[in-house]
Amino acid sequence: MKHAPDAGGHFGSFGGRYVGETLMPALIELDEAFRAAAVDPAFNAAFTDCLRDYVGRPSPLYFARRLTEHFGGGKIYLKREDLNHTGAHKVNNTVGQGLLAQRMGKRRLMAETGAGQHGVATATVAALLGMECQVYMGEEDIRRQAPNVKRMELLRAEVIPVRSGTRTLKDAMSEALRGGTTEVRTTFYVIGSVAGPHPYPLMVRHFQSVIGTEARAQILEKEQRLPDVVVACVGGGSNAAGIFSGFEDDASVQLVGVEAGGHGMASGQHAASIGGGRVGILHGSRSFVLQDADGQIQNAHSISAGLDYPGVGPEHAHWAKTGRATYVPVTDKEALAMFHTLTELEGIIPALESAHAVYEGGRRAQALGKDAIVVVNLSGRGDKDIDAVLAMEAQGK
Ligand SMILES: *Cc1c(COP(=O)(O)O)cnc(C)c1O
């Protein structure tokens, strides 16, 4: 596997496996099973078949003509992960981990979820594979994300409320990492982003790398050359790692990660772990983390629940440090404006997460001028955000 971390899961000085002793055997078992599966033609064929026939891949690479004209600069292409079954990129990873769990003889999938998108994607794959499913979710998120809770329940997943801390994603993930130690013989813990202890950051990138592999071939077919810039939003960083990995070895291609700037970096209310955090350990991995002067984890803020995470995957920390990728914040306001712009100009309602990336893609296309080509990963569709957007705007926020 190209650009793999070392045997301990280190990307440069980031990553690793900072977990209690009880969890270690399960992570070692998982690492071995993943590495064996990744080189097994039968496993790869099952994964590819499922992505094609169930998820609907390859997702199109779409030239956004009216959006391009709007910015008056380079050509903007959108990688349409919003067209996947369940409406976002997350299912690429849950299909991969679900098939791996099955191969390992597990009968239950367990996941953490914030907005509920990863919980739904995991519950979907559990139904597909005939497995049980448990989803840890903060009580506060259960209240805020009721439609996704109903979806998971329809899919016969058990939603387990988490009452510790701020009762949101970071607490659900801590709880899932703890809960996972009790039933490891039968239960497989499906992490939803390139975060957590080794081998998760590597494994999730691997399953999401299909985005970058497709996008690279598609742009070469359409333009006979590589893009100048590839842009993606970064919560934990899985959709970004997926598309970046396809272009990592192309030195001419600039990789730009967009973090949630929330109310602005100066306000302190954001979710930009790279732009505004410090090196620390969260959920078993060393990376950039939002923390106060005492090292306590700080609450992240973003208009989009999917970017609302106080950490970031270790490979992104490494890319930021080496300069292979750059990371910039886009605010709630800017993302909200782009949510409307893309809807009105292209008839595509983007997820608020993805709207952050489209905003930055437009800015880059404008700055680089007509000869440039910019590829933006449209990580998901915005149906889930419509009620929240309308409510916010009715309140005049
Ligand atoms: C969850 C989510 C994200 C953020 O997760 P990453 O791991 O950073 O990709 C982005 N976009 C959508 C649509 C999501 O559902």
* DSSP-derived pairing of the beta strands 14-15 and 187-190: unpaired
Dmax (CA) for the chain in angstroms is 57
- Ligand 1 mean position, distance from CA 242 (Å): 11
Atom of ligand 1 nearest to the CA of 351: 13
Residue with CA closest to ligand 1 atom 7:
238
- Ligand 1 mean position, distance from CA 333 (Å): 18
User: What is d(CA 274, CA 55) in angstroms, rounded to the nearest whole number?
Assistant: 31
User: What is d(CA 341, CA 348) in angstroms, rounded to the nearest whole number?
Assistant: 9
- Ligand 1 mean position, distance from CA 21 (Å): 30
- In this prediction, residue 184 carries a pLDDT of 80
Chain segment 271-314, per-residue pLDDT in tens: 999 999 999 999 999 999 999 999 999 999 999 989 999 999 99
What is the pTM for the complete model shown? 0.97
pLDDT above 70 coverage of the chain, percent: 99
Residue with CA closest to ligand 1 atom 10:
353
Which is nearest to 218 in space by CA: 45, 90, 58?
Answer: 58
Choose the residue to mutate in 84, 170, 239 for probing ligand 1, maximizing ligand atoms within 8 Å of C-beta: 239
- Ligand 1 mean position, distance from CA 193 (Å): 8
Per-residue pLDDT band for 182 (boundaries 50, 70, 90) equals low
Q: Is the pLDDT of residue 64 over 60?
A: yes
Atom of ligand 1 nearest to the CA of 381: 13
- In this prediction, residue 24 carries a pLDDT of 94
- In this prediction, residue 328 carries a pLDDT of 98
Coil vs helix vs strand at 326 = strand
Of 70-79, 136-145, 177-186, 332-341, which range is least confident? Answer: 177-186
pLDDT above 90 coverage of the chain, percent: 92
User: What is d(CA 314, CA 9) in angstroms, rounded to the nearest whole number?
Assistant: 9
Tokens of 146: 């009721």
- In this prediction, residue 2 carries a pLDDT of 84
Chain segment 321-356, per-residue pLDDT in tens: 999 999 999 999 999 999 999 999 999 999 999 999
Chain segment 201-228, per-residue pLDDT in tens: 999 999 999 999 999 999 999 999 999 9
- Ligand 1 mean position, distance from CA 311 (Å): 13
Chain segment 237-247, per-residue pLDDT in tens: 999 999 999 99
Residue with CA closest to ligand 1 atom 5:
235
Coil vs helix vs strand at 131 = coil
Choose the residue to mutate in 82, 86, 90 for probing ligand 1, maximizing ligand atoms within 8 Å of C-beta: 90
Q: Decide: 311 and 289 in contact? Cβ < 8 Å.
A: yes
Per-residue pLDDT band for 183 (boundaries 50, 70, 90) equals confident
Total residues belonging to the chain: 397
- Ligand 1 mean position, distance from CA 22 (Å): 30
Give the residues surrounding ligand 1 with Cβ less than 6 Å away. 88, 90, 117, 193, 233-240, 306-307, 351, 353-354, 379-380
Residue with CA closest to ligand 1 atom 2:
306
Of 99-108, 183-192, 329-338, 359-368, which range is least confident? Answer: 183-192
- Helices assigned H by DSSP within 108-193: 117-129, 139-144, 146-154, 169-179
Choose the residue to mutate in 83, 238, 378 for probing ligand 1, maximizing ligand atoms within 8 Å of C-beta: 238
- Ligand 1 mean position, distance from CA 272 (Å): 14
Average pLDDT, the chain: 96
Q: Which positions are annotated as active-site residues?
A: 90, 112, 379
109 or 182, higher pLDDT? 109
Atom of ligand 1 nearest to the CA of 208: 9
Tokens of 88: 């976002």
Chain segment 150-170, per-residue pLDDT in tens: 999 999 999 999 999 989 899
- In this prediction, residue 181 carries a pLDDT of 47
Residue with CA closest to ligand 1 atom 14:
306
Across the range 193-208, mean pLDDT stands at 98
Whether the CA torsion 29, 34, 37, 39 is positive or negative: it is negative
- In this prediction, residue 397 carries a pLDDT of 63
Q: Is the pLDDT of residue 86 over 70?
A: yes
